[in-house]
Amino acid sequence: MNPIELTLGIMTAVGGFVDISQVVFAALAGSVFGYSLIWVFALSTVGIIVYGEMSGRVAAVAKQPVFNLIRHRLGLKLGFITLAASVLSTLITCAAEIGGLGLLLRYLTGAPYLLMATISAAALMGCIWVLPFKWIERIFGLLGLLMLVFVFALTAIDPPWEKIAAGFLPQIPPGLSSKELLNFSYFAVAIFSAVMFPYETYFYSSGGIEEEWGPKDLPTNRITAIVGMALGSLLSIAMLASAAQLFGPAGIGPQIPGTVALQTAIPFGPIGLVLALLGILFAVAGAAIETCMANAYSIAQFFGWIWGRHKKPWEAPRFTIAWVVLLLLSLAIVLTGVDPMSLVQYAIVFSILVLPLTYLPLMLLADDRKYMGKYVNGRLAKVLGWLFFVLIVLMALAALPLFLITSGGQG
Amino acid sequence: MKPDSLIKLVSELLDLPLYDVEGKYCGIVDDIELTGGPGKDLKLKALLVGPGAYTGRLPGWAMWLVEKIAGSRVTRVPMDKVHSIGAAVHLECSGWQLGLHKSERRAAEWIPHEGAL
């Protein structure tokens, strides 16, 4: 297998894990709760690998992207409710990414934030219009790898590896007050939701169809899902662990991406800082494209429009109009002056409410021998799939109350 | 499965994707048209494609929203134009012939036809 074929998984994962919400959330989690939330990243990574692989397999074998399945399996009414909720949550996420790009470009150039956000949206629109799907995934997937500077920075500050390793075991830090325990629970649910954002599977399965995957591509799908998602998780855990060591003891709670990037300046100086900012910039740009296209894919697949960026924009005109309008709407949200970081909180809570409705139809179809033939879910996929589905439902039930009680993790 | 086989309508036909004889995607089966009456066999007469066919399947507020986003067009696909029904419905003629691409063609007029690699 050509390693370049992994770029779909890398872009999905880097854009899914290391979007603006995860950059700030991972570092904040490390700063506030040390290494004790690493296991949530590890657990949810297994979950997104299971469902990512399943969505790619269904795309390759049954040639059905996730939103077709949602409508066919849940029916028109419930499918429409899922579509409305997921479009809203993904639109808010896309707005947060564009706001994040505005912030990052302001750090790099000193120009005004709203101007930079507008230029970012224009540049993203140009990229999606001009570049074919393969080039989009390669450019943003590979440039997002600059984020690896966070992994090198972690190893350079000589972290307590035994504490990091212990963080992989499920735990609740001892001695928390009830208020702190609620905050910890909110962080756990929010990380789980952010890692398993439904737009990742919409984008990944649609990408598989864009690349014309068939049964022969199933090994590529499996490796792509595992390597891509594990890489995204590694980057998030590196940011969390660095924050636990550098920010937590100093009482710094990183609330903006610029503070998070400082993790790399400590061992590597200005070069580390610039590489980190560029890495975040490309990862967040990838996430903005991913969210915008995932939304357009969902709408087009639900209504039965011709879709895909392997076609020229005028060959899938309603799909093209959809992504252009969605990008402009996201920019309009940013231009109202709303704080992108608070948008992230709303996106996370909305997303987890959509998760059960996204993953149930996927499980049902991947379990259906009539559609999947010999590529139906094996025992491991079936057991893990249903276990994570139960977990997702529990998280969805807990998300809104925790969000309200803790004021979005602010205590 | 052939078009005249017994079909469990809701689970096996509604909301399935539709492809024409050239393998081009033509939309989704949004509703069906039946013939027959009291004491007679019910038979599938046509497939209905397009958001206008959602009427009766969605509440009023949702229909209002759908019409704003996707319009209210319906295209009829006679059952004698259906080749097979499986994970998708396959037609035995071109989608253009049945008028299944009219909305796409109209939308294409709004899009500049240049600049993409």
Strand B82-85's sheet: what is its strand order? Answer: B25-28, B17-19, B89-91, B82-85
**pLDDT > 70 in chain A, percent:** 96
Averaged over A364-369, what is the pLDDT?
88
- pLDDT above 90 covers a percentage of chain A that reads 54
Indicate if the alpha-carbon torsion angle B18, B21, B26, B29 is positive or negative: negative
Chain B: give the shortest CA distance to residue A72, in Å. 5
Cβ-based interface (< 8 Å): residues of B facing A: 10, 14-18, 25-28, 30, 49, 51, 54, 57-59, 62, 65-66, 69-70, 87-88, 101, 103-104, 107-108, 110-113, 115-117
Least reliable range by pLDDT among A5-19, A257-271, A376-390, B77-91: A5-19
| pLDDT attached to residue A276 | 92
Mean pLDDT of A15-30: 80
Question: Which of B54, B69, B101 to mutate to test binding with chain A, by most A CBs within 10 Å of its CB?
Answer: B69
- Of B109, A163, A77, A154, the C-alpha closest to B101 is B109
- Which CATH superfamily is A3-405 part of? Amino acid/polyamine transporter I (1.20.1740.10)
Higher pLDDT pick, A70 / B12:
A70
Q: Contact A26/A283 with Cβ under 8 angstroms? A: no
Question: What count of Cα atoms within 13 Å lies in the side-chain half-sphere of residue B55?
Answer: 8
Tell me: pLDDT of A151 over 60. yes
| Residue in chain A nearest B103 by alpha carbon | A318
Q: Do residues A92 and A197 make contact, with C-beta atoms less than 8 angstroms apart?
A: no
CA angle A188, A191, A197 (to 5 degrees): 135
pLDDT of residue B57: 86
Calculate the average pLDDT of chain A. 89
Tell which residue, B4, B27, B20, has the closest CA to residue B91: B20
* C-alpha torsion sign, points A119, A125, A131, A136: positive
Dump pLDDT digits (tens) for B21-73: 998 899 999 998 888 878 888 888 999 999 999 988 889 999 999 999 888 88
- Which range scores top for mean pLDDT: A121-130, A217-226, A255-264, B65-74? A121-130
Q: For residue B88, list chain A residues with Cβ-Cβ distance below 8 A.
A: 63
| CB–CB contact A317 B111 (8 Å) | yes
- The C-alpha of A15 sits at a distance from chain B's nearest C-alpha, in angstroms, of 23
How many angstroms separate the CA of residue A200 from the nearest CA in chain B? 22
Q: Which two tokens stand for residue A320?
A: 């093209």
Q: How many CB atoms lie within 10 A of CB A251?
A: 7
Predicted-complex ipTM score: 0.88
Enclosing H/E stretch for A344: helix A340-366
Whole-number pLDDT of residue A168: 96
pLDDT at B92 over 90: yes
- Rg of chain A (C-alpha set): 20
Element (H, E) at A330: helix A317-335
pLDDT of residue A378: 93
**Per-domain residue ranges of chain A:** 3-405
- Overall average pLDDT of the A234-255 stretch: 89
From A90-99, A112-121, A248-257, A367-376, the region with the lowest mean pLDDT: A248-257
Contacts of A132 in chain B (CB under 8 A): 116-117
**Is B49 in a helix, a strand, or coil?**
strand
